[in-house]
Amino acid sequence: MKIILLGPPGAGKGTQAKLISEKYSIPHISTGDIFRKNISEKTQLGIKAKEYMDKGLLVPDELTIDLVNDRFTNDDCKNGFLLDGFPRTVKQAEALENFLKAKGEGIDTALLIEVPGSYILDRMTGRRVCPSCGASYHIKFNPPKVDGLCDLCGSAVVQRKDDSEETVKERIDVYEKQTQPLVDFYKQKNQLFVVDGTQLIDEVFKIISNHIEIEGNK
Ligand code: ADP
Ligand code: ADP
Ligand code: ZN
């Protein structure tokens, strides 16, 4: 399966991605996680990406598209992938489409996790993430089983620098201007599936799983 996750910051893409990737054994490709790894390793790419990420702006398309195309060459993508946080612009969506078309392939579905703007700030400012494995928690809505430690790998969870109130507001703005047009992009191709992201994490996952199984049997 080739799946794209769409939705505003805080919709629950990362949270659902971990669950989907585990249940269906497809690699979870998060461009945000790849950029953060490059930042912590102080690579050239990381140094460039950090300038944009700290401000809540998108990393330029060229850098991002090359990075994803390169990731696709990895063996684990043979049977599909789950994209979380990519594409984020029409240019990225077109690049993805062309990349797959050249191999006679296409995506199976674009899942839009929808939440109203009023939910976003609470979710983002209460978010804690695992710097080692990328798992996402929330101090109120989804706390780790052991206070402050990742359920999956035991590392200490941290607050992301770009989850401050000011940067989140910028990111919502960037989402509306640059990423929201993708909703129509995939709707026109009859590839869009919308799920109400205000429900409990398990409820959202049930609905997504159902949809994936229907798509998988087509
Ligand atoms: P995204 O990857 O879309 O930015 P995350 O998966 O990191 O979003 O989720 C953002 C925050 O909201 C995290 O703190 C996460 O624990 C929490 N969260 C995710 N899904 C839900 C949900 N259905 N209900 C309440 N909180 C949620
Ligand atoms: P979110 O919590 O909004 O799901 P991500 O971890 O996906 O955040 O992304 C964090 C930051 O990384 C973005 O604000 C942006 O600066 C950069 N980024 C991630 N994916 C992309 C992309 N596809 N195009 C451009 N920038 C990206
Ligand atoms: Zn972890």
Class of residue 1 by CB neighbours under 10 A (exposed 0-12, middle 13-18, buried 19+):
middle
Residues labelled catalytic: 13, 88, 127, 160, 171
Per-residue pLDDT of 83-123, as tens digits, reads 999 999 999 999 999 999 999 999 999 999 999 999 999 99
Calpha distance 159→76 (Å, rounded): 30
The CB of 15 under 6 Å from ligand 2? The reply is: no
The whole-number pLDDT of residue 216 equals 87
Q: Which domains does the chain have, with CATH numbers?
A: 2-27+74-116+166-216 (3.40.50.300)
Per-residue pLDDT of 177-211, as tens digits, reads 999 999 999 999 999 999 999 999 999 999 999 99
Q: Residue 70 Cα, ligand 1 centroid: separation in angstroms?
A: 28
Ligand 1 atom at minimum distance from 30 CA: 2
The whole-number pLDDT of residue 218 equals 81
The CB of 38 under 6 Å from ligand 2? The reply is: no
The whole-number pLDDT of residue 79 equals 86
Class of residue 202 by CB neighbours under 10 A (exposed 0-12, middle 13-18, buried 19+):
exposed
pLDDT above 90: residue 217? no
The CB of 142 under 6 Å from ligand 1? The reply is: yes
What tokens were used for 45? 């790419």
Per-residue pLDDT of 33-60, as tens digits, reads 999 999 999 999 999 999 999 999 999 9
| Three-state secondary structure of 115-132 | CCHHHHHHHHHCEEECCC
Q: Residue 163 Cα, ligand 2 centroid: separation in angstroms?
A: 12
- Give the global pTM: 0.96
Q: Residue 11 Cα, ligand 2 centroid: separation in angstroms?
A: 13
Query: Residue holding tokens 């102080």?
Result: 42
Ligand 2 atom at minimum distance from 35 CA: 12
pLDDT above 90: residue 176? yes
Calpha distance 144→48 (Å, rounded): 32
Cis peptide leading into residue 8 (ω within 30°): no
Per-residue pLDDT of 114-164, as tens digits, reads 999 999 999 999 999 999 999 999 999 999 999 999 999 999 999 999 999
